[in-house]
Structure 1
């Protein structure tokens, strides 16, 4: 699961390097949500990941 999330983060950074800080935040939040809740967030702009990051 962590390797899959890492690959998604790397692809996001390659596609949109200007917002790397957002990609790091999405990576850490989505990894935790996958491990704890079994939730599979989308690689970009997932509403629950955004809500968690905003909180």
Structure 2
């Protein structure tokens, strides 16, 4: 979560789910635009190591 915030300016909240374990909550708002969502997808790919190219 800190890497998403510090490196990519994406704010998240860590949740502990009873049924499925740990997760990260991302809540877009009314003012979230397509560029913000693109930045989120890019940041998740970098953080998870799934970014290609």
TM-score range relative to shorter protein: 0.3 to 0.5
Q: Kindly name which structure, 1 or 2, has the bigger radius of gyration based on alpha carbons.
A: 2
Greater percentage in strand = 2
TM-score norm. by structure 2 comes to 0.34
